[in-house]
Amino acid sequence: MTVADKRQKACQKLLADVHAITAKEGITPSALHAIKLKVMALAAKTDLFPMDAFEMPVSQGRNHPLLVEDDDGHGLYLTINMPGKEAAPHDHGIWCVNAAISGRERNEFFRRVDDGSRPGHAEVVKVGEVLVEQGNGMAMADHDIHSTVVVGDEPAIGLALYGYALARFPSVVWYHPQFASIRAGASRRHAA
């Protein structure tokens, strides 16, 4: 069996395990924690993810689909983000779990504190931080807000599992704390 075949089989097992967890309890904090542990266990099998099998980013980052389910199924990706790549605070609109294969990415978590009554206005405060590195991951529920930055001199290479495939993401909402502003991207829910 080739490495690619072993990787595919391991990804299929992961998604079967995820479906078993969510069928039993839905998307709860404990379910997300259990899913995070499964994704971290797969990321620890570094022999399944030789870097010569994945093209490096041309600029800051790249997502390689590993297993993308049809319709409203999950999407599992190998992500490669270059040193210094960052993303402002944002809300995917769907849960996600990340685990590192190599490198380090700092995730800061935020909570919205205004009432949402003013269009284009939003205030967020930082409520936590996680360093995603080998042996550590993070999980976010629907509408959690986080920012990311790759720290150190190495690319951050990891696994990202989303409740929907990237091609079917709802509108991603971006927060700009320094301006107390907000903007929403286009939803992909009906585009794919």
Residue 82 and residue 150 in contact, taking contact as beta carbons nearer than 8 Å: yes
pLDDT in 10s for each residue of the chain, 192 residues: 999 999 999 999 999 999 999 999 999 999 999 999 999 999 999 999 999 999 988 888 899 999 999 888 899 999 999 999 999 999 988 999 999 999 999 999 999 999 989 988 999 999 999 999 999 999 999 999 999 999 999 999 999 999 998 888 878 889 988 888 888 877 776 654
CA gyration radius for the chain? 17
Examine residue 34 and state whether it is found in any structural domain, yes or no: yes
Residue 149 corresponds to which tokens in the numbers above? 């930055």
Residue 15 and residue 7 in contact, taking contact as beta carbons nearer than 8 Å: no
Q: For the chain, how many structural domains are there in total? A: 1
- CB atoms under 10 Å from CB of 147, counted, come to 20
Examine residue 190 and state whether it is found in any structural domain, yes or no: no
Examine residue 192 and state whether it is found in any structural domain, yes or no: no
Residue 144 belongs to a domain with what CATH number?
2.60.120.10
Residue 58 corresponds to which tokens in the numbers above? 């041309």
Q: Which domain holds residue 43?
A: 3-184
